[in-house]
């Protein structure tokens, strides 16, 4: 019997709780409306963005600066415009009713642009002089030609370290030479005509000059 009375009490209490929650949610909804005007001349500002922070909801003012939007009590509403300083208001939590009106004044924001120097059109002599003396950037063909120059390739060959494959080939080549001339004196390049030809070419190029 006690269980049955308990169930009946819970069933009767559920609609009351739902109605109380519904009344609380409905009481927190506020219709925010008003007009946004300039602070110096009290003229309505059109196309002002009104955004509720943290909710991705908003609206804009009409041609007379009038707006209307649904918010909740305690929300922060931001007013922004490209020509005016932004303003932020907070909807009071203790307002009575479900409507709240504001008259928001906005101050013009001064934007400083970089200085621009206007000069007269040059004469024909000045244009010809500047045209001839203007440095034209190198194209891809000229850059490739300069990078494949023989002198630059020799410099790159001396300064660029070898990779693992080249280092392994050099090591194996040295081991093979030692195995070929094992037990005897290896030949000297002083008697090699090809080595002398390379030496003469290097001497003409200036490879042995002090840098």
Kindly state the tokens that stand for 70. Answer: 């649904």
Q: Do the domain assignments include residue 91? A: yes
Is 100 found in the same domain as 66?
A: yes
Number of domains the chain is built from: 2
| Contact status, residue 23 vs residue 32, Cβ threshold 8 Å | no
- State the residue range of the domain holding 164: 124-205
Q: Quote the pLDDT of residue 210.
A: 63
Is 31 found in the same domain as 91?
A: yes
Q: Do the domain assignments include residue 128? A: yes
Domain end, chosen from 56, 75, 106, is at 106
Q: Quote the pLDDT of residue 78.
A: 95
Q: Quote the pLDDT of residue 146.
A: 81
**Strand order, beta sheet including 76-81:** 57-60, 49-52, 76-81, 84-90
Q: Do the domain assignments include residue 134? A: yes
- With tokens 């109380």, the residue in question is 20
In which residue ranges of the chain is pLDDT below 50? 2-3, 5-7, 10-14, 16-23
pTM: 0.44
Q: Do the domain assignments include residue 136? A: yes
Q: What is the largest CA-CA distance in the chain?
A: 124
Is 97 found in the same domain as 154?
A: no
Q: What is the CATH number of the domain that holds 59?
A: 2.60.40.1120
């Amino acid at each position: 019997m006690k269980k049955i009375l308990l169930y009946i009490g819970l069933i009767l209490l559920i609609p009351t709780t739902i109605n109380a929650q519904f009344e609380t949610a409905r009481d927190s909804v506020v219709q925010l409306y008003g007009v946004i005007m300039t602070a110096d001349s009290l003229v309505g500002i059109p196309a002002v963005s009104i955004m509720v922070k943290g909710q991705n909801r908003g609206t804009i003012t009409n041609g007379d600066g009038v707006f209307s939007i649904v918010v909740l009590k305690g929300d922060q509403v931001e007013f922004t415009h490209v020509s005016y300083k932004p303003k932020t208001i907070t909807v009071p939590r203790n307002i009575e009713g479900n409507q709240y009106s504001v008259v928001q004044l906005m101050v013009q924001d001064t934007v400083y642009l970089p200085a621009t120097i206007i000069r007269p059109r040059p004469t024909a002599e000045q244009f010809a002089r500047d045209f001839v003396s203007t440095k034209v950037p190198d194209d891809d063909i000229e850059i490739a030609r300069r990078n494949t120059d023989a002198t630059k390739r020799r410099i790159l060959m001396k300064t660029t370290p070898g990779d693992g494959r080249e280092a392994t080939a050099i090591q194996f080549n040295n081991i093979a030479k030692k195995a070929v001339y094992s037990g005897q004196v290896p030949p000297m390049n002083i008697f090699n005509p090809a080595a002398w030809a390379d030496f003469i070419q290097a001497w003409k190029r200036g490879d042995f000059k002090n840098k």
